[in-house]
């Protein structure tokens, strides 16, 4: 074991590594998100705007951002340099289990107990797709690291792979007002 640190909440619901800094995020049952330096074992910052447990958390690969999702049905995009929430995405009708930034596009995927997976454009702050088909809570969803795919798992006892290449093409079309956006800019 490299290091261990303790939170002041009775339960940690989610964790995420930063891709280049020795940082981890811990999302807690009490609604707080903690930013830790795991090499020093020190708490760097804490973010407290969710009402209730925060289950999903993920760092952006190139921007000073992270995303959270919680039991308040809200997805929040945070800037850790500015030390604040930038905006909130609304649309899910139940607890949000996981959130993840896309590796290339300005997208976030979220999984919810409302039995849907949503894809959001975080630059336009809009939901660009709702993936339906599960008939129980969607416990997790994530983007494929290179291909236009989303993977999801549900308490309906299924794991599904969703093709998002049509969505990419649709949003890249000249008539699209939502656009693809670039995660790096």
Question: For the segment 63-92, what is each residue's pLDDT rounded down to a tens digit?
Answer: 999 999 999 999 999 999 999 999 999 999
Alpha-carbon distance 184 to 157, whole Å? 36
Q: Are 119 and 132 in contact (CB under 8 A)?
A: no
**Which 8-state DSSP code applies to residue 54?**
E
Q: Are 15 and 26 in contact (CB under 8 A)?
A: yes
Average pLDDT across the chain, whole number: 92
- Give, for 171, the enclosing helix (H) or strand (E): helix 165-172
pLDDT of residue 84: 97
Q: Are 132 and 116 in contact (CB under 8 A)?
A: yes
User: Can you give the pTM of this predicted structure?
Assistant: 0.91
Three-state secondary structure call for residue 31: coil
Residue 5: partners with Cβ closer than 8 Å, 6 or more residues away: 36, 38, 41, 43
pLDDT of residue 155: 97
- As a whole number of angstroms, the longest Cα–Cα distance in the chain is 53
What residues of the chain score a pLDDT lower than 70? 1-2, 5, 7-10, 173-185
pLDDT of residue 185: 44
CA-closest candidate to residue 161, choices 180, 144, 139: 144
pLDDT of residue 111: 98
pLDDT of residue 107: 97
């Amino acid at each position: 074991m490299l290091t261990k640190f303790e939170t002041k909440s009775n339960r940690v619901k989610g964790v995420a590594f930063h891709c280049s800094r020795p940082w981890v995020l811990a999302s807690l049952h009490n609604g707080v998100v903690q930013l830790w330096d795991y090499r020093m074992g020190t708490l760097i910052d804490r973010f407290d705007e969710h009402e209730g447990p925060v289950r999903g958390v993920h760092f952006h690969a190139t921007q000073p951002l992270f995303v959270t999702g919680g039991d308040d049905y809200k997805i929040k995009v945070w800037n850790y340099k500015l030390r604040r929430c930038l905006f909130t995405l609304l649309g899910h009708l139940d607890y949000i289990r996981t959130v993840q930034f896309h590796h290339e596009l300005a997208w976030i995927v979220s999984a919810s107990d409302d039995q849907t997976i949503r894809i959001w454009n975080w630059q336009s702050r809009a939901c660009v797709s709702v993936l339906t088909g599960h008939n129980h809570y969607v416990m997790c969803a994530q983007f494929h690291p290179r291909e236009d795919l989303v993977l999801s798992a549900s308490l309906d006892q299924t794991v599904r792979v969703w093709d998002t290449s049509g969505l990419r093409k649709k949003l890249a079309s000249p008539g699209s007002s939502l656009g693809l956006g670039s995660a790096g800019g």
